[in-house]
Amino acid sequence: MTSNIGIIIRREYLERVSKKSFIITTLFMPVFMLLLSAAPALIMSLNTSGSKNIMVIDESGKILPQLENDETVRFTSTALPLDSLMGREDLDGILVIDKQIISKPEMLRLYTRDAASTELTGNIENQVERIVERERIESYNIADLSKILEEVKVNVTLPTSRITDENEATESSTILSTVMGMVMTFILYMFLMMYGQMVMTSIIEEKNNRVLEIMVSSVKPSHLMMGKIIGVGLVAVTQVILWGLLLSIISSFVMPAILPDTMATDIAAYNAGNLDAASAANNIEMVQMFSALGSIGYIIGLFGYMLLFLIGGFLFYAAINAAFGSAVDNIQDAGQLQMFVVLPIIIGLVFGISVVNDPSSPLAIWMSFIPFTSPMVMMTRIPFGIPVWEIIVSLVILYASFIATVWIAAKIYRVGIFMYGKKPNLKELIRWARYK
Amino acid sequence: MELLKVENVSKHYSGHTALDDVSLTVKEGSIYGLLGPNGAGKTTLIRIINHITAPDKGRVIFDGHQLTEKDVTSIGYLPEERGLYKKMKVGEQAVFFARLKGLSRRDAVNGLKEWFEKFDILPWWDKKVEELSKGMAQKVQFIVTVLHHPKLLIFDEPFSGFDPINAELLKNEILNLKQQGATIIFSTHNMGSVEVLCDDITLINQSHNILSGSVEDVRRTHSYGRYRISFDGDENRLLEALGQHVESYKFIPADIRGKSLSLKLRDENDMREIISIANDTVLITALNREVPSMDEIFIQTVKTYNAEK
């Protein structure tokens, strides 16, 4: 009889994996995701609309000579009054600088015909700031003052180390933990929603076209349900693993090519343990992050945890989905019941994102033990490094709860698949679960 | 030798009773008709025999022992409402169902090819199910039901969706299976096919077994006191003369035999007396014992039962 579960798993798995839509999404999703993350840079580089022509009325006479032109903006001097320039459509903007600019740096204004881009205003602000600073320093008439000020400047970044269970310190990057946590929580959320829905719709479909009537004469309803849940679950695992492989292949070949040379040298120095924060060309946090991303062990460790929580969370929710699917005749009727599945998953996602600020708060710890929210919340917390016992307890609770939901779901399923016509509510489902 | 015994089975759902103390015995190698109006409890009984649901009370004895889950592989069930996976290929799907019944892949493929050939659907092996006509899908379902040579076959409305030619083909295959030793439970509303195919029947109405026995016995019992007198003369005078001997009657104005009265007598032993009374009143042209059709028996038994309730 147990071999029948195997036959069903095989059918459910092959049916989905051999679908064109599965192959396409599996292959193109990682490419799409990478493109999406690179999109802002791409758009920027495509969006240069030539250099802007800015006419400058500099009443102080100190700013204009020091303004530098570049490929995006060109400044030209003028003595004409503002009014006479307003009508000129060949200009991209008129910059008016008050003669008191050095003492009152807010006394300047840019007039433009189109909305001024942040790139342009940022450029002008930076330049004027620098020039005013320089002018002020020089006005003190102290020799080498600018050099002294330069030497006084400091820039502190706080590297963090986490004390492991073996009481050793390991380096950790807060930014990286946050990013990894968010990404994995979101992937988990997506999979729980998508594949949970898949279990439900496919049961409704089987019920609707009466295949179930034939199936139940050779398979126990509970076996049928388990076969479907496991089959669909394996599809999810296949997809995640394929994505992981594809992403790591892409990143190991593509990332070195994209990263600037200075970053590569810094990473090499960091990995060798002799990176000097002061001399590094890049922010130490960024160096840490890219270094970790390039470290296979770190990625595989996180990925392993994600799989464990993905499988546990999927099984837990799929059983509930299966029970609901068996109870209704069409997907529209399922809406109301589905709220009981969708809501906790969304709550889990929201909490998962918010615990980033304090991954060790009591709320975060409790949420990561409750099976409804634990997969998402745990996935945010794990990258920050939490005690292993917490992960184990969370997993044990999750898998034990899965056994409970499957047991109850099987009872509802057994009754539900023969119920046609009426739309049951939660109370009725609970009564079904009590039938002999 | 009986293959299946259902003993005092009851099944309640919240609010209603699907089966109330139902018993029946199916002889090995026979075709057993399970009859009854819609909603009488037939499907529930079939599901209990299939080990899909468990009875609240009573038990099911299959092949000499209490029915267990393992026996499901010795049963083939063709449900009334039946479907297939639409997106799957026909052959692949048939193999899938056969494997669920415990056949190895190779046995399944070999057996299926034979049946597909017989039913003229071999060219459809690699087509998707959604491309099949309803009749062809029904053929596939029938094949899947019988492929694993089950001892007990349960057909629920097997002929629905078939044209007369294919229905005939199916009927012959069912008789073939019986000849090869299979025991068949046959549930239908088509009483004509019951008369042709079934050895024994049970009529279930309002969750009770209200009539059981061999088709011959049932029909003979129901022919008790039923006669048809064809005559020349006045039917009202005849009825008046027969008076209290007649329990009920039906007047048939005129057919090939002339006009006749279909009579249900109170006591068959009064037959001699009745004939002489009739003979004195009208000219008798024919006198026959009437054997009711299963259709009539079905309607009459159910109506009588419901009226008494």
CATH number at residue B128: 3.40.50.300
Report domain extents, chain A.
2-33+174-434, 52-147
The ipTM of this complex is 0.79
* Token couple for A46: 């495509």
How far apart, in whole angstroms, are the C-alpha atoms of residue B160 and residue B137? 12
The pLDDT score that the predictor gives to residue A313 is 95
* Token couple for B65: 């022992």
Arithmetic mean of pLDDT, A88-103: 85
How far apart, in whole angstroms, are the C-alpha atoms of residue B4 and residue A191? 49
Residue numbers in B near A431 (CB within 8 A): 14
Residues B200 and B286 in one domain: no
Selecting from A211, A218, A219 the residue whose C-beta is nearest the C-beta of B83 gives: A211
Q: Is residue B113 part of a domain?
A: yes
How far apart, in whole angstroms, are the C-alpha atoms of residue B295 and residue B309? 21
The pLDDT score that the predictor gives to residue A45 is 62
**Residue written as token pair 């025991």:** B183
Axis-axis angle for helices A388-416, A374-381 (nearest 10): 160
Q: Is residue B188 part of a domain?
A: yes
The pLDDT score that the predictor gives to residue A171 is 62
How many residues would you count in chain B?
A: 309
Alpha helices (runs of H) in A328-373, residue ranges in sequence order: 331-354, 362-367
Structural contact between residues A380 and A352, judged by C-beta atoms closer than 8 angstroms: yes
Selecting from A4, A15, A436 the residue whose C-beta is nearest the C-beta of B56 gives: A436
B173 secondary structure, DSSP code: H
Residues B117 and B209 in one domain: yes
Q: Is residue B295 part of a domain?
A: no
Residue numbers in A near B52 (CB within 8 A): 216-217, 221
Residues B151 and B281 in one domain: no
Residues B18 and B121 in one domain: yes
Selecting from A214, A218, A220 the residue whose C-beta is nearest the C-beta of B82 gives: A214
The pLDDT score that the predictor gives to residue A281 is 64
The pLDDT score that the predictor gives to residue A407 is 92
State whether the Cα torsion A259-A262-A263-A266 is positive or negative.
positive
Which residue numbers in chain B have pLDDT < 50? none
Q: In what order do the strands lie in the sheet with A108-112?
A: A73-77, A52-58, A93-97, A108-112
How far apart, in whole angstroms, are the C-alpha atoms of residue B81 and residue B72? 19
Residues of chain A that touch chain B, judged by Cβ-Cβ distance less than 8 Å: 1, 4, 7-8, 11, 15, 206, 209-211, 213-221, 418, 431, 436
Q: Do B101 and A218 count as a contact with CB atoms less than 8 A apart?
A: yes
The pLDDT score that the predictor gives to residue A165 is 64
The pLDDT score that the predictor gives to residue A311 is 95
Predicted confidence band of residue A173 (pLDDT cuts 50, 70, 90): low
Whether A148 has a pLDDT exceeding 80, the answer reads yes
Arithmetic mean of pLDDT, A22-40: 79
How far apart, in whole angstroms, are the C-alpha atoms of residue B277 and residue B243? 10
3-state helix, strand, coil in chain B (%, to 5): 40, 30, 25
Predicted confidence band of residue A62 (pLDDT cuts 50, 70, 90): confident
The pLDDT score that the predictor gives to residue A276 is 65
Residue B62: its H or E element: strand B57-62
Q: Report the chain B residue with the minimal C-alpha distance to residue A211.
A: B83
Structural contact between residues A320 and A343, judged by C-beta atoms closer than 8 angstroms: no
**Percentage, residues of chain B above pLDDT 70:** 99
> Strand B152-156 vs strand B75-78: parallel, antiparallel, or unpaired?
parallel
pLDDT digits (tens, 9 = 90+) for B101-136: 889 999 999 999 999 999 889 999 999 988 888 888
Q: Which domain, by its residues, includes B252?
A: 224-290
Arithmetic mean of pLDDT, A229-234: 96
What are the backbone angles phi and psi of residue A108, rounded to the nearest 5°? Answer: -150, 155
How many residues would you count in chain A?
A: 436
How far apart, in whole angstroms, are the C-alpha atoms of residue B53 and residue A427? 22
Q: Kindly state the greatest CA–CA separation across chain A.
A: 99
To the nearest whole angstrom, how far is the Cα of B70 from the nearest Cα of chain A? 8
The pLDDT score that the predictor gives to residue A329 is 83
Whether A420 has a pLDDT exceeding 80, the answer reads no
CATH number 2.70.98.50 is the correct assignment for the domain at A52-147: no
Q: What DSSP assignment string belongs to A403-427?
A: HHHHHHHHHHHHHHTT--SS---HH
Whether A373 has a pLDDT exceeding 80, the answer reads yes
Predicted confidence band of residue A107 (pLDDT cuts 50, 70, 90): confident
The pLDDT score that the predictor gives to residue B21 is 92
- In B14-74 the beta strands, taken as DSSP E runs, fall at 16-27, 31-35, 57-62, 65-66
Q: Is residue B101 part of a domain?
A: yes
* Token couple for B112: 């299926």
The pLDDT score that the predictor gives to residue B98 is 92
pLDDT digits (tens, 9 = 90+) for A254-284: 666 666 677 777 777 777 766 666 566 666 6
Q: How many domains would you assign to chain B? A: 2
Whether A409 has a pLDDT exceeding 70, the answer reads yes
Residues B124 and B255 in one domain: no
Residues B264 and B148 in one domain: no
pLDDT higher for B302 or A434? Answer: B302
B89 secondary structure, DSSP code: B
